[in-house]
Copies of this chain bind each other. A is one copy, B any other.
Amino acid sequence: MPRITPGAVKGTRDYLPRDLVLRNRVFAQLRETFERYGYEPLETPTIERTDVLEGKYGEEGEKLLFRILRRGRDLDEGVAKLVAATDRGTGAATRLLSDEALRYDLTVPFARVVALYQNELQMPFRRYQIQPVWRADRPQKGRFREFYQCDVDCVGSTSVSIEAEMLAMANQVLERLGFEEFTIRINHRALLGALMASEGVPAGLTSATLVAIDKLDKIGPAGVRADLATAGLEDVVAQRVMAAISITGKPAEVVARLRAETQLGSDLAGDAALRDLEAVFGYLAALGVPETRYSFDVSTVRGLSYYTGLIFETVAPGAPVGSLCSGGRYDRLIGQFTGRDLPCTGISFGIDRIFTAMEILGLGETDTTTATQALVSTLGAANVGASFAVAQALRAAGIRTEVYADETRALKGQLSFAAKKGIPLLAIVGDDERQAQRVTLRDLRTGQQETLSMDNAV
């Protein structure tokens, strides 16, 4: 049998216990917060049929699918067809050699589940899903081929109360994780569309204009102006657009200034979008979200993706790693999958970004690399039974307790084991303690120790 030397596959990660202490705590906090808002867990298989996945992620996305090789007779047949074919290119090969692939995101499986179980699921249906996805991207710092996505969606409601609830949930998640300074930037996709029209951007230049605005964080206002000029937008129109997206202030002030300084209010869609936003800001107050935590940011675009209503993204100024969580309303996407239009609002938490930001800001740091709280010594076979009894008493009291696994090793070695693992408490059960039915407790951080009766020790 060959010896194993290699590590994890390129772009994937092993999570050792020291990594999982924080990671599992964060995941538990996410789940708990979602469930506290009535969102329920959903899990879908790792493998999906390629006809479910294909046509959803664009040509570039599809190249990144991890496809499963057919097996046995299916594989033989695929190979025979490929050998006989004149086109043996990548496209033909993947089609003939594979019909299943790994999950690429959580949205398509969610859409499949909604379509498949639509008669069983009570609508509106709120679900969260925290599972890994796979993309054969070129691995680089902070980008992996296997990574967790965390999506929270509500399907079946057109009420903007959902948007408000999601924003309150995002605020609470980040608060619980220890983030103090962050801003949820809120905007509205229909408002952007209406703004383009009302400020005189020709229909043919709307996309180019939005793409330019989307780059504001990266290239600054001057860069956006340059891009707009290159795209062929009239200078006076560009100036009006720049003026509108530069309006800042408290959310209600931005609404008021947009009504006063642009034509948005007299546009049907623009007015509706502004009223959506006003409703959401009102709900956020009822939900107790401080106004310092969010902004109405007219320059937020979130790409040219599938959003149709409110959009949002979250930045932490002290940890510029990109958006920590983002989302919005996408009323037409699920309909494309199911054949029945189903309104949907979703938020996605960037797990890797959140951990990176927490690291930069020093959040969630612990003085231990283990969840274990106590080590019970085992000093010779004669004392193992007494050590076990002590351990069971500690465990019954809810203390995570490890019994040292080699009773032939000297106390010094067992102490050093506890210290290296960062276990804070050592319970020593030697001959004296066993005979007296006592236990010596040593606090490994202070070095203090005390010999107590079993009852008192617990």
Contacts and interface: CB of A to CB of B under 8 A. Distances in A.
Given A38-B401, A159-B406, A72 B55 contact: no
A71 interface: yes
Contacts of A392: 168, 287-288
A322 interface: no
Nearest to A371: B35
Given A6-B116, A76-B90, A283-B388, 9 more contacts: A4-B338, A12-B45, A38-B402, A40-B372, A46-B46, A46-B134, A63-B71, A76-B93, A80-B88
Interface string A3-25: 11111110011111100100010
B371 A40 contact: yes
Interface string A185-207: 00000000000000000000000
Nearest to A375: B38
- Which 9 residue pairs across A and B have the least CB separation, nearest first? A38-B402, A12-B45, A17-B40, A286-B385, A124-B405, A157-B405, A15-B43, A286-B388, A67-B69
A1 B337 contact: yes
Interface stretch (A107-115, A238-246, A323-331, A355-363): A107-115
A-side interface mostly: mixed
Given A4-B337, A36-B400, A47 B66 contact: yes
A336 interface: yes
Contacts of A56: 1
A44 interface: yes
A162 interface: yes
A403 interface: yes
26 contacts: A1-B56, A9-B100, A14-B42, A14-B45, A14-B113, A15-B43, A16-B120, A17-B42, A17-B127, A20-B40, A20-B43, A35-B400, A37-B401, A37-B402, A40-B371, A47-B134, A63-B71, A66-B68, A68-B69, A68-B102, A69-B69, A69-B97, A76-B90, A79-B82, A97-B97, A283-B384
Contacts of A24: 41
Contacts of A93: 75-76, 79
A225 to B, nearest CB: 37
A264 interface: no
A403 B38 contact: yes
B405 A117 contact: no
Nearest to A288: B392
A79 B88 contact: yes
B15 A42 contact: yes
A433 interface: no
A309 to B, nearest CB: 14
A398 B146 CA distance: 34
Contacts of A157: 405-406
A89 B408 CA distance: 55
Nearest to A17: B40
Given A161-B384, A161-B407, A406-B157, A51 B146 contact: no
B287 A388 contact: yes
Nearest to A7: B116
B45 A8 contact: yes
B401 A36 contact: yes
A282 interface: yes
B45 A146 contact: yes
Given A88-B79, A126-B402, A337 B3 contact: yes
Contacts of A337: 1, 3-4
A229 to B, nearest CB: 36
Nearest to A388: B286
A252 interface: no
Given A36-B401, A43-B20, A286-B388, A406 B69 contact: no
Nearest to A76: B90
A410 interface: no
A272 interface: no
